[in-house]
Structure 1
């Protein structure tokens, strides 16, 4: 008779020499999930759904979500305006085909099927390897290909692990992949107090880069400027100040700006094109203003600037090994105290949390820009 090994609220059974199999209490996990069956405004289409997850078998892994961020892309996906569309399925036990929103998240391994790599064990942490998994839920089933394992979670908080795949990774790739920036070189960015903006400031500081960081004019501008300089921003200016090219020249001492990171669009992006130096590169990764921008002909003809787009989801699909290496590097910076969190606001998700409570931070992500990322933090049963 094989031994029965108790583990928290569940149990583990092992068949020595034959297979490895773990299950939760009574063999099933109870998952609570936000789901939607039609595209639209989140507060109109999101529903709270409960369903059971069977014990894992073969190459299936049961996971418990620890933390799941609320990113603009998640909201755009619910609205139906994002290029990546989720899979609508009856597999969740809903009356109509439904999908789970959320692309980024941290999970804990709960139990594994018999054919899962033996190195993957209950209690380990992992993040999603790509988009469209559906992370706004408490439990799910995954395969190894859905996960990037975190071998060492010491010194990393759940929020830091849950948010590493989008903002820090986007900033890392844009600073690294488009221009051969070296220590002392300048880059400029708008939306500098966003998650990507704060990440770019810190990664730039670590790599010895200089940054010009543009933010919207606001009443508390002095406080914000001080905050971003403390992260390592060389200079922090407002959108109105960015229009003065003589002011920019005084900041740089005439040194050319080689890279511009655009998350806004509209007039703000056009100003970035004017700030760029000879053969500079303008990289667009967002469109907060929801308006197109024009590039002055003189910048294209006489300065030979190049315009690019960047989408971390597409990059991640084609660069799995590089993504794992990059995330390991970012985690090392966090452990060393070189990289700080983006300000965030937690919504606790327990067995008793109601739909209105979960929808509120999603609505806030649409209607407000507080500079704080919304994050669901799941409380273990």
Structure 2
């Protein structure tokens, strides 16, 4: 009943060699449920559509999986963390690697693997989620199977912004005020608490995001739009052992100037996402060079949702 992911697998012993003249594979099947309830009533055996194999992906056929009490509770909808519906049940099992992407070196077809953890994947929380960086994070995370909690400022057209970010692949969109409300616990019924927070605002927004990080989680600050300091409660350091890091892309480029292969690989991965339609540019407004003053004024307005592009 386990849905396997390449990043949570580790190599196990090889099974006995199999005949090269094996018959064609049968369509994959899984036990799915589209609503919560008593497992015998809501779980159905259905055919699955296998996603196209990406360069860093691994296709795994599950061979056996136990039914644990936690699995039952998740199907019933009573477990603290619930999968987005429709879902494949289960959190443990053993599987066989069927095929690997061209960039995968740690595994090969025929390896037996088990999940390294019983979790449902990672999540990321970020503020200024409607920015160019924020929109890119949503799309890259979506393509990587990572859930996102996206924080934006309240505004008159909030519903339209939420709709636009959800269309990009956002899992949750909340306002800075909502971060402080008890209702946030409902968000974490469907996704795990984030291990990574991305901050480009500062001030209260940053402090509230920190409260939702997992213990030993990391916050990376790459901007300070609010022009306010990053305030961290002492309890976050002592009891959660959070990590605070900074990121400046100019320095990052200097640090990796000699590692051309790594940079080229990263750019290639992003270009592949673009070609597949999984990563698109943010909304933009093309402005002739002579109208630069209007472009500058538009770029400085609050709640700007369109990037100003000067045409030279």
Q: Does TM-score exceed 0.5, indicating one fold?
A: yes
Q: Distance in 2 between matches of 1:255 and 1:332?
A: 28
Please say if 1:331 is aligned against 2:271: yes
Q: Deviations over 1:107-136 (max 9, x none)?
A: xxxxxxxxxxxxxxxxxxxxxxxxxxxxxx
Paired residues, number = 190
**Within-5 A mapping of 1:1-381:** 184-244=121-181, 246-253=182-189, 255-320=192-257, 321=260, 322-349=262-289, 353=290, 357-378=291-312
Structure 1 residue 230: deviation in Å?
Answer: 0.9
Structure 1 residue ranges without an equivalent (≥5): 1-181
Structure 2 residue ranges without an equivalent (≥5): 1-118
- C-alpha contact 1:183 1:207 (8 A) present in aligned 2: no
Q: Distance in 1 between matches of 2:224 and 2:274?
A: 29
Counterparts in 2 of 1:291 and 1:200: CA distance versus 1, 3 Å: same
- C-alpha contact 1:249 1:255 (8 A) present in aligned 2: no
Q: Distance in 2 between matches of 1:334 and 1:377?
A: 22
- C-alpha contact 1:183 1:208 (8 A) present in aligned 2: no
Q: Distance in 2 between matches of 1:362 and 1:218?
A: 22
SS of aligned partner of 2:300: helix
Give the superposed CA RMSD. Answer: 1.7
Structure 1 residue 366: deviation in Å?
Answer: 2.7
Q: Deviations over 1:243-284 (max 9, x none)?
A: 12x322221127332011101101101111111111110111
- C-alpha contact 1:266 1:294 (8 A) present in aligned 2: yes
Q: Distance in 2 between matches of 1:293 and 1:346?
A: 35
- C-alpha contact 2:120 2:192 (8 A) present in aligned 1: no
- C-alpha contact 1:191 1:214 (8 A) present in aligned 2: yes
Q: Deviations over 1:6-30 (max 9, x none)?
A: xxxxxxxxxxxxxxxxxxxxxxxxx
- C-alpha contact 2:155 2:303 (8 A) present in aligned 1: no
